[in-house]
Amino acid sequence: MDLIIKNGFVYDPINGINGEVMDIGVKGGKIVPPEEVKKKAKVIDARGKIVVPGGIDIHAHVAGPKVNAGRLMMPSDHYDSFIRLTRGVHRSGTGKYTPSTFLTGYRYARMGWTTVVEPASPPLKTRHTHEELNDIPIVDKMCFLLLDSNRILLEYLAEGDTYKFKNTVKWLLQITKSYAIKLVDPGVAVPWSLGGGYGLDIDESIEPYGITPRDIVVNLCKVNTELKLPHTIHVHCNKLGIPGNLSTTIRTMESTSHLASGELNIHITHIQFNSYSGESWVDIRSGAEEIANYVNKNSHVSLDVGQIDFGTAITMTADAPFEFALFHLSKWKWYGPEVENECAAGIVPFKYRRRNMVNVVQWCIGLEVMLLVKDPWRLVLTTDHPNGAPFTRYPKFIALLMSNKYREELMKRMSRRGLKRCVLPTIDREYDLYDIVKVTRATPAKLLGIDKFKGHLGIGADADIAIYDINPETIDFSREYEKVKERLKRALYTIKDGEIVVKNGEIVKDFFGRTIAVKFKEDIDTEVIKDVKEKFKRYYTISFSNYIIQEDEIRKIAYIWVEG
């Protein structure tokens, strides 16, 4: 439909618009000049409201075998939280921490988010990942491919065959219909699957290959640059969740600095879980200042935070040793799958407690990083859903970033021992709306390389728009934090591809968005593919042809064409 959104306070950092009252035209699912919209177009009066691009979640575990296993591990979650079927409008769905596919899309849309990235899928399991992404309504989706412990790639790297290494990465991305390269605790699945080792540091040898996690990070970074992929390597650092991992994280960021040439070349994800100073749980301290200092001085790295919240969560990651250790700490449930020749993972439900010293340090670190890093164009708000908190907590964390008073109120009920190990009580910085739109919309669009058509409200962009019942001229964001939080939970309107899908916080229309993947303009060397095919006969139980995901298996696919 043709739409015109009139008189709203528009926030669009990519185009330098900071609260200007203006009209937005929508035609054919794209944003157009208002004068090009038909006179009979539907008019939305946004007077006294804010108008922003649809939110983009750069890192949320929403699809694939691990999420499905998580649903099975938390059956009560699907009794307590649900949406009922409304015939002709939307389907039903259940779950809060591990929501079903339909509810995932509805909850993002109701909150004003229109794009989500599934950030960790092993190639062998990516068909399952796409099947669930196909089933998530409304939002557009992407999938990042786990490549750090792939045995074929490690063999090429150990042999020094960088040509086959590069072309195999290219082939894997293309045949799995994925978007970017993901690394999780690089190389750790190898010693784990061989029955030895409970984690690797960045310069420890990975046997029997005789290479290190640093080698994996550096060489995948080089390949990423040579292939001209739109997003940098997306890295879950070694030693995640372990006291003292601050040193490992800094060294991981430093490992690609010599390759940067002034450009971004590494994204460190859920940095909160990798910012622990100290040598044990007894003397653990926040390392947020050191992380922020490095990022403020070096332009080649970007971050998302992985903010935790107190209460129930469910941790899931292709970092099997960490999950095994967490199981022994939590003494509850543990699921530990392995994917042949590719990764080893774990799932453990967990509860973060405000009276627990370590959990308070974790809670503080995420906010500290958000408040201490100076450049919001290299920083994204995430919860590493569902590891830190469900994605539905974004309104709460936005309110915390905008209100020092809100932070002070919550800290009154937390472990004093934990707070003394952090700098958050001394920080009084508060975000404004322009900053919030950056870290939830504009920045993830730029980091993903989709800012030509997402993350802004300029001419030609996708008409993905959120309108909230917030008047920036009358509300005090610092003092009225409860109102901010409540108004952001449910958008007044969410518009996806020019269609109104949410009105007054409720789903009013249901359809499926796109899955965005990379596709290479240059052909992949057929001799390399032949070599990979031979390795398949030795390494895999699945046939080579069944490993390849066909285009017609994706409900709606949209390609980003890549030169490399």
**Does the N-terminal peptide bond of residue 386 adopt cis geometry, omega within 30 degrees of 0?**
yes
Is 148 domain-assigned?
no
Q: How do residues 448-498 score in pLDDT, each as one tens digit?
A: 999 999 999 999 999 999 999 999 999 999 999 999 999 999 999 999 999
The stretch 212-218 carries a mean pLDDT of 98
CA distances from 36 to 17, 23, 53, 361, 534 (A): 21, 12, 20, 53, 57
Report how many domains make up the chain. 1
Is 481 domain-assigned?
yes
Q: Which of 70, 76, 63, 149 is nearest to 102 (CA)?
A: 63
Is 495 domain-assigned?
yes
Placement of tokens 């407690």 in the chain: 353
Q: Quickly list H helices, 403-540.
A: 404-411, 416-419, 433-437, 443-448, 481-489, 526-539
CA distances from 324 to 11, 139, 240, 243, 318 (A): 44, 33, 12, 16, 11
Residue 343 pLDDT grade (very low, low, confident, very high; cuts 50, 70, 90): very high
Q: How do residues 138-173 score in pLDDT, each as one tens digit?
A: 999 999 999 999 999 999 999 999 999 999 999 999
The stretch 403-428 carries a mean pLDDT of 98
Q: Which of 137, 131, 122 is nearest to 92 (CA)?
A: 137
Q: How do residues 99-108 score in pLDDT, each as one tens digit?
A: 999 999 999 9
> Per-residue pLDDT for 61 more than 80?
yes
Give yes or no for a contact between 77 and 97, defined as CB atoms under 8 angstroms apart.
yes
| Cα-based angle 79, 85, 87 (whole degrees, multiple of 5) | 170
**The token pair that represents 379 in the structure block:** 């920083």
Helix (H, G, I), strand (E, B), or coil: what is residue 504?
coil
CA 288, distance to chain mean position in Å, is: 20
Helix (H, G, I), strand (E, B), or coil: what is residue 143?
strand
Helix (H, G, I), strand (E, B), or coil: what is residue 286?
strand
Give yes or no for a contact between 200 and 192, defined as CB atoms under 8 angstroms apart.
no
Residue 18 pLDDT grade (very low, low, confident, very high; cuts 50, 70, 90): very high
- Mean pLDDT score across all residues of the chain: 96
- d(C-alpha 528, C-alpha 32), whole Å: 45
The stretch 533-545 carries a mean pLDDT of 93
Instruction: Determine the pLDDT at residue 69.
Output: 94
> Per-residue pLDDT for 539 more than 80?
yes
Instruction: Determine the pLDDT at residue 453.
Output: 97
Q: Are strands 557-562 and 180-184 parallel, antiparallel or unpaired?
A: unpaired
Is 173 domain-assigned?
no
> Per-residue pLDDT for 39 more than 90?
no
Q: How do residues 512-535 score in pLDDT, each as one tens digit?
A: 999 999 999 999 999 999 999 999
Is 430 domain-assigned?
no
Concatenating the DSSP letter of every residue in 319-388 gives -HHHHHHHHHHH-S--B--EETTTEE-EEEEEEE-TT-HHHHHHHHHHHHHHHH-S-GGGEE---TTTTS
Burial class (CB in 10 A: 0-12, 13-18, 19+), 429: exposed
- d(C-alpha 135, C-alpha 128), whole Å: 11
The DSSP H or E segment spanning 44 is strand 42-45
Is 369 domain-assigned?
no
Cβ of 28: how many Cβ atoms within 10 Å?
A: 11
Q: Which of 431, 414, 427 is nearest to 488 (CA)?
A: 431
Q: Where are the beta strands (DSSP E) in 122-231?
A: 140-146, 180-184
Q: Is 344 left (phi over 0), alpha (psi -120 to 50) or beta?
A: beta
| Cα-based angle 432, 435, 437 (whole degrees, multiple of 5) | 110
Is 17 domain-assigned?
yes
Instruction: Determine the pLDDT at residue 332.
Output: 87
Instruction: Determine the pLDDT at residue 197.
Output: 67
**CATH code of residue 27:** 2.30.40.10
Instruction: Determine the pLDDT at residue 70.
Output: 94
Is 389 domain-assigned?
no
Where in the sequence is the domain holding 476, given as residue range(s)? 3-53+466-507
Q: Which of 503, 493, 467 is nearest to 10 (CA)?
A: 467
The DSSP H or E segment spanning 20 is strand 17-27
Burial class (CB in 10 A: 0-12, 13-18, 19+), 83: buried
Q: How do residues 258-296 score in pLDDT, each as one tens digit?
A: 999 889 999 999 999 999 999 999 999 999 999 999 999
**The token pair that represents 293 in the structure block:** 């200092």
